[in-house]
Amino acid sequence: MATLLYTHPACLQHDTGEYHPECAERLSTILAALEGEEFMALLREEAPLASREQLLRAHTAHHLDHVLDAVPPSGEHHHIDPDTVMSAQSGEAALRAAGAVVAAVDAVAAGQARNAFCAVRPPGHHAERDAAMGFCLFNNAAIGALHARDAHGFQRVAVIDFDVHHGNGSQHILWDEPGTFYGSTHQEHAYPNTGLAEETGGKGRMVNVPLPAGSGSDEFRQVFDDIIVHRLKEFAPDFIIISAGFDAHAADPLAHLRLKTSDFKWATERLLDVAAASAGNRVVSVLEGGYDLPALAASVREHVRALLGH
């Protein structure tokens, strides 16, 4: 079966201002990297707008209204916080980013594709139930996970996050949600200073593995296999969402893990193995971080190669 690629031009129009690391060039670089004969098998789909009902599975009505009412006039910027910036196009971009994951879940659940990658921005894993932060407006991964559970009846939905920063928002939203699992590897003592190993969730289905700054491939692969994949197999997911951040790469300027490009393909393949065993191969991946453009392009290519080839 096919691999789907969801994106939308509106995600390129989300303007964070000069010198901001979460810039439109991130997405244009990724899309250029996925051109060419090798990626012709990707089925390319336009991301729809997420509905209010879909967003409300993960966020409060107050949060939705606060974000969408904060969209500034054309040519202006609005800072939700020092890092999280909106432009006139940001509201549509955020709705398309969340809508991409929802549509991908629908397609994979229906058997129209084996898996999907959502090349969208703004990213989402820092957005909490009632707060935007860390470049993130809506929590795309959590919205997708709760949609898989509530709209399609999956009973064991896992979100696995290998971004260098802990997905505090995904953890916050899923903390007490039945039928969900959240697993994260991330750099310890990095933004947003959450994700301690003892943060295990209201139902004990949170697995946080903070790695010391400077950790590389060997350290990452050991804990990913021995802890994240081990616990994920015990959970036996019937649907997997990947928060695919590529800023743990050694070249990335925003943190200090030392992963190689090949590590992202390896991690993806390990998750696909679990999906094959218990989830009918159902995987939806959504872009999170990654701020060195050449490293981001190379890492996404490896990630998508794994999705296509498994």
Give the pTM: 0.98
Radius of gyration, alpha carbons of the chain: 17
Q: How confident is the model at residue 203 (pLDDT cuts 50, 70, 90)?
A: confident
Mind telling me the catalytic residues? Answer: 126
**144: Cβ contacts below 8 Å, ≥ 6 apart:** 98, 101, 102, 104, 105, 241, 284, 286
Which residues in the chain belong to E strands, given as ranges?
3-7, 43-46, 78-79, 85-86, 115-118, 157-161, 180-187, 206-211, 239-244, 283-287
Place of tokens 């959450």: 194
252, 208 contact by CB (below 8 A): no
CA 52 to CA 288: how far, in whole Å? 22
pLDDT-above-90 percentage for the chain:
98
90 pLDDT more than 80: yes
CA 139 to CA 148: how far, in whole Å? 14
Residue ranges covered by each domain of the chain: 3-309
pLDDT reported for residue 210: 98
pLDDT digits (tens, 9 = 90+) for 274-292: 999 999 999 999 999 999 9
243 pLDDT more than 90: yes
236 pLDDT more than 70: yes
pLDDT reported for residue 310: 62
Residues for the chain: how many in total? Answer: 310
pLDDT reported for residue 105: 99
CA torsion 123-274-176-166 (nearest 10°) is: -40
288, 252 contact by CB (below 8 A): no
Q: How confident is the model at residue 27 (pLDDT cuts 50, 70, 90)?
A: very high
122, 90 contact by CB (below 8 A): yes
Beta-bridged to residue 210, according to DSSP, are 186
Q: How confident is the model at residue 301 (pLDDT cuts 50, 70, 90)?
A: very high
How is residue 63 written in tokens?
């949060």
Q: What is the CATH code for 3-309? A: 3.40.800.20
